[in-house]
A and B are shown apart, each in its own frame.
Chain A
Amino acid sequence: MTAALRFDPIRLPPECEQLRKEVRAFLAEEIAAGTFDPHKPNREDTDAPEFSRRVGAKGWLGMTWPKKYGGQERSFLERYVVTEEMRVANAPTRRFFVADRQSGPVLLKYAPEHIKMEILPRICRGEICFAIGMSEPNSGSDLFAAKTRATRTDGGYLINGTKIWTSSAHIADYMIAIFRTSQPTKENRRHGLTQFLVKMKQPGIKVNPIGQITGQYEFNEVVFTDFFVPDDHVLGEVDGAWKQATSELAYERSGPERFLETYYVLTELVRAVGPNPDTRSAEGIGRLVAQLHTMRRMSVSVAGMLQAGKEPVVEASIVKDIGTVWEQQLPHRVRDLAAFVEETATNRETLERQLDFAIKTAPKLTIQGGTTEVLRGIIARGLGLR
């Protein structure tokens, strides 16, 4: 069984390095123009629709998708480069990130042709924002306990119920959500949920922002009251969402965003420590860089497997488990190491401001997009323990 866990040393091909230069140049221009401050990790409540369109104009959204839907037919490894450069620069990606990573690929696989033709090009142009409607007040990690109902009506379904912790729902144009179309069966408790495309900003949907411990309002409660969804907005098999959920996970869980969320504090620590670190600082930085490098190599390896058409669900879960635990601990390790940095270090103020934010962000990192406990359950299943 263990032989199945492979992380082959994939190298990014030469075209990726050219692309990386282009992305860096673009981001440098955006920073110079004042679009965002790379030292301020505030992506979460910054909506930047114009930036989103400019990224789309570069051809960097939906870049792996077929050209007829507005894509570029480029590789997952090229997409990887764009993602990591944006993340490290603290670029305001939230308007397009979910659509590009997750919602677009779901539509590509399950939406009817006319929906794909209508929506995918708009994602590629950076015009529209997506949210994911999974959790409910009594259904979080236990996805298949979802109760929000989709009841059959003329030409479609009526939706009643509440989704919660839905990131970006207050700005989203669409949501991909799972709703209950049938009761679970004795044989299969996962049966009875269906995936739907929901057009937001319409009567019947109420979005209530929820304050987070970072002081931001990024996630929401979304209440549906007799909200109508037409038949052609059903994605995939009715009652069969459970069959569709797993393939998404490898995309969602292994990307650079799963270990770079608090990366900025490491950069600022290196700046504060200066070119001649004492032994303690040097050792601390060296270990963190070794851990970071290793995770990135694992993550790139999974991107290579995705490019090769595999579904490395267990490997992706390992990347997210290790990556999110690391990025959660990072601000605390950096705080330890910064304790003896000269008070006069020029960027001490920036580092402290960043640490304040990163320390508040840290608790969510091992919860969102699959908790550590769920991930370890998936890995254990892969090992043949369940």
Chain B
Amino acid sequence: MVVETAEKIFADLADPQTINNDKKDAWRAPLWQALSEAGLPLSWVPDDLGGSGASLADGFALLNAAGRFAVAVPLAETMLAGWLLAQAKIASPDGEMTVVPASPKDRITLNPDGSLSGRARGVPFAKAAKHFAVLAHGKDGISIAQVDAAKARIESGLNVGYDHSDTITLDKVQPVTIKPAPKGFDQTNLMLMGGVARSLQIAGALEAMLDISVRYSNERVAFEKKISKFQAVQHNLARLAGESAAALAAATSAADAIANAKAFDDEVYLEAASAKIRCAEAAEKGGAIAHQVHGAIGFTMEHILHRYSLRALAWRDDFGSESHWAVELGKLVAGRGADELWPLVASR
């Protein structure tokens, strides 16, 4: 149900061609309003905390659909923020949210006086957010807080997909609400969850890139035939299909693992880290093929391809890049030892 509702809204209000033609950003407010009215940004927040209480699985499927439309409003970010707040039983406020930090390298500190300090780079849609869901490290462990965005210093920036990716600084900011995180919950869990969300978005974008590339190759004529009839083009598109399939398989497998896991154990770590690594690789390889098939027209702002290709590349950077996760996964595997590698892979 969640996915069908979302797809209808995306089709009506987030058509990539319409958005691409709209130089005044008039599409943004009606899309957010429709998503909010349908309760989608708070999909992962239980009813009693102000959300719509959808399952993790439905929420992941919704993010995959959002990727297929290259949705450029803070839907994933608000979903993740609501999910983070709900971990500490904090009710979600209305409006756009994002999560802080959004990189495994940044750290927010809970000061003894109950205020929060620290700097977080590459925070997606911080500029558009009304509240932040913050994970903070204090002397008694991890806390989760709701912070008024107006109290943070925001240096705005754009990622390679032209979406906001901002640096936020908290300087002894008093949170609206703060509660201890549940036992065992840490920043790595948040990064893995965010990474899987991004993986599903990338997989969705690749599905769309495959679709529009196949369609274009069946229309475009060169050397007196459709370019889809050239074997070199066919084989490139077959590789794009492979990358798209690999991204989808990795992302949906990781989503399924998290949705059914009791804890963020080694198996979930393998699934989530692998998804981010493999989807990021697919974004690079698959996006390059989609551009190659389209030729010069795909390199223009007028064409919708860049809405997918650049966003997929940008999403690689959020919640830990593939390089980060590869190093971490490699350490995990090496630490377990050679003879424990196959049992780990075969555990899924």
- A216 contacts the other chain (Cβ, under 8 Å)? no
Expressed in whole angstroms, the minimum distance between the Cβ of B251 and any Cβ of chain A is 9
A88 near B278: Cβ-Cβ < 8 Å: no
Stretch at the interface among A112-120, A198-206, A296-304, A355-363: A296-304
| A-B interface contact total, Cβ < 8 Å | 179
* A285 nearest CB neighbor, chain B only: B330
Question: Chain A 279-295 against B: per-residue CB contact (8 Å), 1 yes, 0 no?
Answer: 10111111101111111
- Specify which chain A residues have a CB less than 8 angstroms from the CB of B231 in the assembled complex: 377
Question: Chain B 257-294 against A: per-residue CB contact (8 Å), 1 yes, 0 no?
Answer: 10000000000001101110110010000000000000
Measured in the bound complex, the distance between the Cα atoms of B207 and A285 in whole Å is 28
Measured in the bound complex, the distance between the Cα atoms of B346 and A301 in whole Å is 14
Total count of chain B residues near the partner, CB < 8 A? 56
Stretch at the interface among B69-77, B124-132, B334-342: B334-342
A270 near B214: Cβ-Cβ < 8 Å: no
B341 near A383: Cβ-Cβ < 8 Å: no
Tell me which residues from 181 to 236 in chain B have a Cβ below 8 Å from any Cβ of chain A.
207, 210-211, 214, 217-218, 228-229, 231, 233-235
Decide yes or no: A294 and B249 within 8 Å by CB, A282-B331, A282-B334, A289-B274 being known contacts.
yes
Question: Chain A 292-330 against B: per-residue CB contact (8 Å), 1 yes, 0 no?
Answer: 111111100100000000000001001001100000000
B334 near A275: Cβ-Cβ < 8 Å: yes
Decide yes or no: A384 and B218 within 8 Å by CB, A5-B245, A298-B246 being known contacts.
yes
B214 near A384: Cβ-Cβ < 8 Å: yes
Expressed in whole angstroms, the minimum distance between the Cβ of B118 and any Cβ of chain A is 25
Stretch at the interface among B24-32, B34-42, B45-53, B319-327: B319-327
Measured in the bound complex, the distance between the Cα atoms of B335 and A9 in whole Å is 27
B244 near A2: Cβ-Cβ < 8 Å: yes
A298 near B334: Cβ-Cβ < 8 Å: no
Tell me which residues from 36 to 91 in chain A have a Cβ below 8 Å from any Cβ of chain B.
84-85, 88
Tell me which residues from 331 to 386 in chain A have a Cβ below 8 Å from any Cβ of chain B.
373, 375-377, 379-380, 382-386
- B253 contacts the other chain (Cβ, under 8 Å)? yes
Expressed in whole angstroms, the minimum distance between the Cβ of A299 and any Cβ of chain B is 9
B234 near A285: Cβ-Cβ < 8 Å: no
Expressed in whole angstroms, the minimum distance between the Cβ of B298 and any Cβ of chain A is 18
Measured in the bound complex, the distance between the Cα atoms of B341 and A274 in whole Å is 13
Expressed in whole angstroms, the minimum distance between the Cβ of B215 and any Cβ of chain A is 9
- Specify which chain A residues have a CB less than 8 angstroms from the CB of B325 in the assembled complex: 286, 290
- Specify which chain A residues have a CB less than 8 angstroms from the CB of B334 in the assembled complex: 270, 273-277, 281-282, 285
Measured in the bound complex, the distance between the Cα atoms of B275 and A345 in whole Å is 32
- Specify which chain A residues have a CB less than 8 angstroms from the CB of B250 in the assembled complex: 290, 293-294, 297
B246 near A11: Cβ-Cβ < 8 Å: no
- A1 contacts the other chain (Cβ, under 8 Å)? yes
Indicate which residue in B228, B248, B333, B342 contacts A286 across the interface (CB closer than 8 Å).
B333
B327 near A279: Cβ-Cβ < 8 Å: yes
- B119 contacts the other chain (Cβ, under 8 Å)? no
Indicate which residue in B242, B330, B335 contacts A379 across the interface (CB closer than 8 Å).
B242
- A20 contacts the other chain (Cβ, under 8 Å)? yes
Interface centre among B211, B217, B326 (most CB of A within 10 A): B326
- Specify which chain A residues have a CB less than 8 angstroms from the CB of B233 in the assembled complex: 385
Question: Chain A 92-113 against B: per-residue CB contact (8 Å), 1 yes, 0 no?
Answer: 0000000000000000000000
- Specify which chain A residues have a CB less than 8 angstroms from the CB of B253 in the assembled complex: 9, 294, 297
Tell me which residues from 245 to 274 in chain A have a Cβ below 8 Å from any Cβ of chain B.
263, 266-268, 270-271, 273-274
Indicate which residue in A20, A84, A267 contacts B339 across the interface (CB closer than 8 Å).
A267
A7 near B252: Cβ-Cβ < 8 Å: yes
- A8 contacts the other chain (Cβ, under 8 Å)? yes
- Specify which chain A residues have a CB less than 8 angstroms from the CB of B322 in the assembled complex: 287
A5 near B330: Cβ-Cβ < 8 Å: no
A5 near B338: Cβ-Cβ < 8 Å: no
Expressed in whole angstroms, the minimum distance between the Cβ of A85 and any Cβ of chain B is 8
Measured in the bound complex, the distance between the Cα atoms of B277 and A5 in whole Å is 21
Indicate which residue in B234, B274, B339 contacts A386 across the interface (CB closer than 8 Å).
B234
Expressed in whole angstroms, the minimum distance between the Cβ of B85 and any Cβ of chain A is 28
- Specify which chain B residues have a CB less than 8 angstroms from the CB of A282 in the assembled complex: 326-328, 330-331, 334
- B23 contacts the other chain (Cβ, under 8 Å)? no
Indicate which residue in A277, A295, A296, A318 contacts B330 across the interface (CB closer than 8 Å).
A277
- Specify which chain A residues have a CB less than 8 angstroms from the CB of B296 in the assembled complex: none
Measured in the bound complex, the distance between the Cα atoms of B250 and A296 in whole Å is 10
Decide yes or no: A294 and B274 within 8 Å by CB, A276-B334, A321-B242 being known contacts.
yes
Measured in the bound complex, the distance between the Cα atoms of B274 and A44 in whole Å is 32
Decide yes or no: A289 and B341 within 8 Å by CB, A270-B334, A282-B330 being known contacts.
yes
- Specify which chain B residues have a CB less than 8 angstroms from the CB of A322 in the assembled complex: 242, 245-246
Expressed in whole angstroms, the minimum distance between the Cβ of B210 and any Cβ of chain A is 5
- Specify which chain B residues have a CB less than 8 angstroms from the CB of A296 in the assembled complex: 345-346, 348
A8 near B252: Cβ-Cβ < 8 Å: yes
Interface centre among B277, B335, B346 (most CB of A within 10 A): B346
- Specify which chain A residues have a CB less than 8 angstroms from the CB of B335 in the assembled complex: 275-276
Measured in the bound complex, the distance between the Cα atoms of B218 and A386 in whole Å is 10
A268 near B249: Cβ-Cβ < 8 Å: no
- Specify which chain A residues have a CB less than 8 angstroms from the CB of B239 in the assembled complex: 321, 376
Decide yes or no: A287 and B246 within 8 Å by CB, A277-B330, A297-B348 being known contacts.
no
Expressed in whole angstroms, the minimum distance between the Cβ of B325 and any Cβ of chain A is 7
A289 near B242: Cβ-Cβ < 8 Å: no
Measured in the bound complex, the distance between the Cα atoms of B242 and A349 in whole Å is 36
A298 near B245: Cβ-Cβ < 8 Å: yes
B273 near A286: Cβ-Cβ < 8 Å: yes
A291 near B278: Cβ-Cβ < 8 Å: yes
Indicate which residue in A2, A285, A297 contacts B249 across the interface (CB closer than 8 Å).
A297
Question: Chain A 1-24 against B: per-residue CB contact (8 Å), 1 yes, 0 no?
Answer: 110010111010000000010000
- B58 contacts the other chain (Cβ, under 8 Å)? no
Expressed in whole angstroms, the minimum distance between the Cβ of A150 and any Cβ of chain B is 33
Expressed in whole angstroms, the minimum distance between the Cβ of A5 and any Cβ of chain B is 5
A385 near B218: Cβ-Cβ < 8 Å: yes
- Specify which chain A residues have a CB less than 8 angstroms from the CB of B274 in the assembled complex: 289-290, 293-294
- B241 contacts the other chain (Cβ, under 8 Å)? yes
Extra contacts, 15 of them, besides A283-B326, A284-B330 (Cβ < 8 A), are A2-B210, A282-B326, A285-B334, A286-B277, A287-B281, A287-B322, A290-B273, A293-B271, A294-B250, A294-B274, A297-B348, A318-B245, A376-B238, A377-B238, A383-B241
What are 18 A-B residue pairs whose CB atoms fall within 8 Å in the complex?
Answer: A2-B211, A5-B248, A8-B252, A9-B253, A283-B323, A287-B281, A289-B341, A290-B250, A290-B277, A293-B274, A294-B249, A297-B253, A298-B246, A380-B234, A380-B237, A380-B238, A384-B214, A385-B237
**What are the nearest 3 A-B pairs in CB distance?**
A282-B330, A286-B326, A286-B330
